[in-house]
Amino acid sequence: MEFKHIPVLLQETIEGLSIKEDGIYVDGTLGGAGHSSEILKKLSIKGRLIGIDRDTEALEASKQLLASYSNVSFIHGNHDAMKTILAELAIEKVDGILLDLGVSSYQLDERNRGFSYLGENALDMRMDRMQPLSAKNVVNEYTEEDLSRILWEYGEERFAKRIAKNICTYRKEKEIVTTKELVSIIEKSIPKAMQKDGHPAKRTFQAIRIEVNNEIEPLMQTVADCVDCLASHGRLCIITFHSLEDRAVKKAYEKASGKCECPKDLPYCVCGAKRLGKIINKKPIVATEEEIISNPRAKSAKLRIFEKE
């Protein structure tokens, strides 16, 4: 299958990066190189782009797409290791970083990756197929309590306890190995009257995917590391697709902008708040109606921009 990914909030992101033609930029979620190809168009031969992705298929596809450019480096890795990756490349500071979080269009459409709740495919959901933990492990090996917690915290699934219980009951008789089996369990766990707001498996699949790929826990530190890697007036653009990500990014930006986190009744600050830069847009930038019509996956996208002092 062709690796096709429609970049969301493309122009807004490019404008948000405020690209310098001789600058160094990082796309921490290279994917199908939709954003990266536009960044490269604005760079001179002296400029440089670092493309990072943990999906080897995405990297191979982007290498082909960007083959005409000599000023791009392709790195198989995780944006959570931004500092380490840049240090290994002997790069001290960069002029801009982009993180387009969540699952790509290709990963959703490529059914054998197990991200989609449509059809019947192996439970996988790994963005990096070299990692050991998969959705199959989570569904079959996690305790009922842990499953319930994940579905509630990462999927905000109101029927988390019932779904977790039914998963554990089912797997006593047979290991759950396909997406279709999991969807069937979910559908039986949610009352029909409550299945009108989108596909009933949507929240559960999101939660398991987040757990498999550890998408939320390190995010606050990742944002802090990215800010630290920016040169003066460098910009960080982060696109999120659900409230958990957006809240984490917002909080990390507020902390980097020097917002005090002390209780209001304290007479003075003891949290050590330090201003590292400013938030460019107080409210997240969202997709236009026109973009949502042409790319429905842009509906939940939110872009937040931070500038280093």
Kindly state whether residue 231 falls inside one of the protein's structural domains. yes
Amino acid identity of 50?
I
Average pLDDT over residues 105-124: 80
Average pLDDT over residues 207-221: 93
Number of domains in the chain: 2
- Tokens 């080897």, residue located: 56
201 plus 224 within the same structural domain: no
Kindly state whether residue 111 falls inside one of the protein's structural domains. no
Kindly state whether residue 112 falls inside one of the protein's structural domains. no
User: What CATH number did the domain enclosing 189 receive?
Assistant: 1.10.150.170
Model pLDDT, residue 2: 53
Model pLDDT, residue 254: 95
Kindly state whether residue 107 falls inside one of the protein's structural domains. no
145 plus 192 within the same structural domain: yes
175 plus 231 within the same structural domain: no
Average pLDDT over residues 260-270: 76
Average pLDDT over all residues of the chain: 93
Kindly state whether residue 230 falls inside one of the protein's structural domains. yes
199 plus 220 within the same structural domain: no
76 plus 15 within the same structural domain: yes
pTM: 0.86
208 plus 235 within the same structural domain: no
Comparing 210 with 262, which gets the higher pLDDT? 210
User: With bands split at pLDDT 50, 70 and 90, how would you rate the model's confidence at 273?
Assistant: confident
Residue 112, pLDDT > 80, answer no
Distance CA 95, CA 30 (A): 17
Model pLDDT, residue 47: 98
**Is-contact 9 239, C-beta < 8 A?**
yes
pLDDT 10s digits, 12-52: 999 999 999 999 999 999 988 999 999 999 999 999 999 99
The string of DSSP codes covering 110-135 is: -GGGS--SSS--BS---SSTTSS--H
196 plus 139 within the same structural domain: yes
The range of the structural domain enclosing residue 82 comes to: 10-102+216-308
Q: What percent of the chain has pLDDT over 70?
A: 96
Model pLDDT, residue 113: 86
pLDDT 10s digits, 148-172: 999 999 999 999 999 999 999 999 9
| Integer angstrom CA distances of residue 79 from 61, 64, 223 | 18, 21, 10
203 plus 159 within the same structural domain: yes
Kindly state whether residue 2 falls inside one of the protein's structural domains. no
Given 169, 184, 213, the domain boundary residue is 213
The rounded Cα 78 to chain-centroid distance in angstroms is 11
190 plus 259 within the same structural domain: no
pLDDT 10s digits, 68-106: 999 999 999 999 999 999 999 999 999 999 999 977 666
44 plus 84 within the same structural domain: yes
Distance CA 150, CA 204 (A): 9
Residue 184, pLDDT > 80, answer yes
Least confident of 119-123, 131-135, 229-233: 119-123
Model pLDDT, residue 111: 65
* Among 114-118, 125-129, 282-286, the range of highest mean pLDDT: 282-286
Model pLDDT, residue 235: 98
123 plus 209 within the same structural domain: yes
Distance CA 221, CA 93 (A): 17
Pairing of strands 302-308, 277-279: antiparallel
89 plus 163 within the same structural domain: no
**Is-contact 81 10, C-beta < 8 A?**
no
Model pLDDT, residue 110: 66
Distance CA 183, CA 195 (A): 13
Residue 1, pLDDT > 50, answer no
**Is-contact 5 32, C-beta < 8 A?**
yes
